[in-house]
Amino acid sequence: MSEMKKHLNNVYINSQENYISNHTQKKSTKRKAKANSSSDKNFLLKKNSQFLSINNHDLFFNRELSWLEFNYRVLEEAMRKDNPLLERLKFIAILESNMNEFFMVRVAGLKQIVASSINEIQLDGKTAEETLHEIHKKVHQLTNLKYKILNEILDLLKVHGIEIYQETKNIEKHLDNKDKKFLKNFFKKELFKILTPLAIDPSHPFPRILNGKLNLAIKLRLERNPNKISYAIIEVPSDVLPRFIELPPRNKFSLTIRRFIPLEEIIKLHIKELFGNNEIISIHGFTINRNSELSIEEVSSENLLSTIEEELKNRKWGEAVRLNYRKGMPTDLKDFLRKQLDLEEEETYERPGMLNLHNLMEIYEKIQDRMDLRDEPFIPRNAIILDNLSDIFDLIKQKDILLHHPYDSFQPVIDFLQAAATDKDVLAIKQTLYRTSGDSPIVKLLIEAAERGKQVTALVELKARFDEERNIVWAREMEKHGIHVVYGLVGLKIHAKALQVIRREKDGVHSYVHLSTGNYNPTTAKIYTDLGLITADPEINNDVSNLFHALTGYASIPKFSKISVAPINLRQTITKLIEKEIQNAQEGKPAYIKIKINSLVDPEMILLFYKASIAGVKVDLNVRGICCLKPGLPGISENIRVISIVGRFLEHSRIYYFENNGNPKIYLSSADLMPRNLNRRVETFFPIEDEELKKKIIHILDVIFRDNHNARMLLPDGKYIRLHPKKGEPRFSSQRFFREEVVKEFEEKERDKEEKRRSIFQPLTNLEQIINSKI
């Protein structure tokens, strides 16, 4: 047994109560009393630092398995009885989408490592092969649980007048003559001509099955050769037709029954139309996930745009990594598919219900009128109300603006860009674009600005995974209108979010910048939590100008005054900030680190947090997704708490707080603490210096860490437990609190505005007032 394992052998945590009791104030006080001098803290740091090594696998959770734990938390939201039914259905769809991407990228990557015979060891000491086996074991369990929850949700939806049919044999008994006529008409007029049955025999080799597409595998006996088993495949055209077709509604008492049938079930009902007198033995759906990571040799690519376009064509034909098939598929047919796709048995997943569950978002989107089954609507409030768009520049000059999405509307960002596009004094606009919406007002405003004669530069990241095609379309469109488009950098992704406006004013040329933790996407800004800063601060703007020069031209690596940039100096900046907290703790000064991010994987950063904990620094981490740090290890990470919030909105903001001996330093960033963010991406890390805004961010962090409704706490064994309120306390949801808070603030602003208006236009109601007013 290793020294570290012996050290951990003393850990005894059997329940949530035991673990939480280790963190009570009473025990914390005792520990502080034992090591309250700086010499004691130095001794502890020295003694325990011998274990702090990237090669000590006992210190880290496995990255991939941690991601699966996050998806269990997503499934928990689908399980929650206090979530409306359609919201629970939405979480099933989100989980399916997450898992598809996981297999197409992460599992595919592990398979490549295994195939290469490189003995790459994961952070927790597992080989890639061992990790793959563990992944399949856990995902098989997750899949079974997901369908159990799905069936529960579908049964409850049926009680509320929404029926989604899954099985052909059960569907027919629910169809009356009107339904059958409707479906036959739909099949003949819309579906029949689209379908292409593909026979599999010596003259028809196994077809190339597209990544993620839903197919039907048919086992049959041909009329001309009834002694031989034959196979055929039909691709379900859910890309060109809706996956779920709505049947004519029925009325039951005062309730309108809405009924949906999957496209593949309509095909099954009319299969004879496609195969005539041949005997159909079985029909079962299947899908495959393929390796979808682009393989781009950027160093040798003279034209990055055309290289990515070419590689995108190959994505749909990548190596198969998983086969999903409908329960009941004959073993010989399943084995035939598995062998054709070159998959192992553990890479095949039997599904007890319909496939491609991410398509359930169609149902969620279609049923907008059932407010009893959905979350209460929330409309983001506009934090900035302007009489004239150009007033925004004066407003920014007076004071920095902080936007907290989705509670604050994304509209001020659009207004900022629109003002820049239309203002005659604006000379230039520069912007990074990583992900934006399909019908992007951002891109349209950049085009408008260029057409008005302004110099516009857009840094479009073509390698934004699964948004490459959209970004290529927008890049070409912008080039047509005279925008200078820069297609990323060789070897780096531009993940920073920056929008800078350069304007001529009476006293010279000034610049204004918007920096954000999230993308320039008005759609996701309604469902992702993010923070954005709009500032006229000369030093920050000068830093951003230098960054753009470095990204678009041949400028030397800039020195930044206030912001930090990966991969230039962001890692060094965070390291210094953590080390300062360690020093303060050792000197008996206030020391505290509070961070909210999406993922924590970088081993060097994890070791720094361990050192901080050993030194007595309290470390609170809110990590939504992957977390490879182990909290609660005796003598190593007892002072570290990790929570994760999964709720209605996707937690996406990145906030970094350092106590700094009572003079807090607060930063926002586009970066998580992952090797890719710190080493292989262009990221920004920018300070919040306005005292009022610092208080607001401290308030945001305080509220987030109070959450006991959507928050879970990470245990030393890698499991998460839901937090519970203390006796007598109510459940507290940070997301609900922020929704209610912003509504109150908006209503107060409106009242103040109305009072000012009344004071300006106060009517004269008596003769004395009229006489006095004339005097």
> Which positions ≥6 away from 629 have C-beta within 8 Å?
60, 61, 600, 606, 609, 610, 621, 637, 640, 642
pLDDT of residue 314: 57
Collapse the DSSP code of 658 into the 3-class scheme (helix H, G, I; strand E, B; otherwise coil) and give the result.
strand
Strands 720-722 and 711-714 come out as antiparallel
Q: Which residues in the chain show pLDDT less than 70? A: 1-50, 168, 293-317, 437-438, 463-468, 471, 757, 759-775
Rounded CA separation 288/215 (Å): 9
Rounded CA separation 345/136 (Å): 10
Rounded-to-5 percentages of helix, strand, coil across the chain: 45, 20, 35
Rounded CA separation 387/264 (Å): 54
8 A C-beta contact, residue 385 and residue 175: no
Rounded CA separation 162/179 (Å): 16
Please report the beta strands in 416-527, taking only residues with DSSP state E, as ranges in sequence order.
Answer: 426-433, 455-460, 484-486, 493-494, 497-505, 508-516
Apex CA 307: angle with CA 303 and CA 312, to 5°? Answer: 150
> How many other CB atoms are found less than 10 A from the CB of residue 602?
22
Q: 102 phi and psi, to 5 degrees?
A: -60, -45
Rounded CA separation 69/189 (Å): 46
Rounded CA separation 432/547 (Å): 11
How far are the Cα atoms of 101, 331, 435, 543, 741 from residue 519, in angstroms, in the given order? 20, 46, 6, 20, 24
Of 291, 6, 4, the C-alpha closest to 124 is 4
The tokens describing 175, both together, are 């169809």
> Which positions ≥6 away from 337 have C-beta within 8 Å?
217, 286, 323, 325
The tokens describing 82, both together, are 């206090």
The dihedral built from the CA positions of residue 262, 266, 271 and 274, taken in this order, carries a sign that is: negative
Collapse the DSSP code of 511 into the 3-class scheme (helix H, G, I; strand E, B; otherwise coil) and give the result.
strand
Catalytic (active-site) positions: 495
Q: How far is CA 292 from the centre of its chain?
A: 18
Of 619, 632, 624, the C-alpha closest to 601 is 624
The 3-class SS string of 747-770 reads: HHHHHHHHHHHHHHCCCCCCHHHH
Torsion of CA 445, 447, 451, 455, to 10 degrees: 90
8 A C-beta contact, residue 89 and residue 156: no
Q: Any idea which residue has 């399943």 for tokens?
A: 334
Collapse the DSSP code of 1 into the 3-class scheme (helix H, G, I; strand E, B; otherwise coil) and give the result.
coil
Of 339, 202, 348, the C-alpha closest to 286 is 348
Q: Any idea which residue has 């000590």 for tokens?
A: 56
Look at the pTM and tell me if it is higher than 0.75.
yes
> Which positions ≥6 away from 300 have C-beta within 8 Å?
none
Rounded CA separation 658/665 (Å): 5
pLDDT of residue 309: 53
Rounded CA separation 775/768 (Å): 11
The tokens describing 618, both together, are 């309290």
Of 283, 263, 284, the C-alpha closest to 351 is 284
How far are the Cα atoms of 26, 218, 536, 735 from residue 186, in angstroms, in the given order? 70, 22, 59, 44
Rounded CA separation 53/47 (Å): 13
The tokens describing 9, both together, are 């052998």
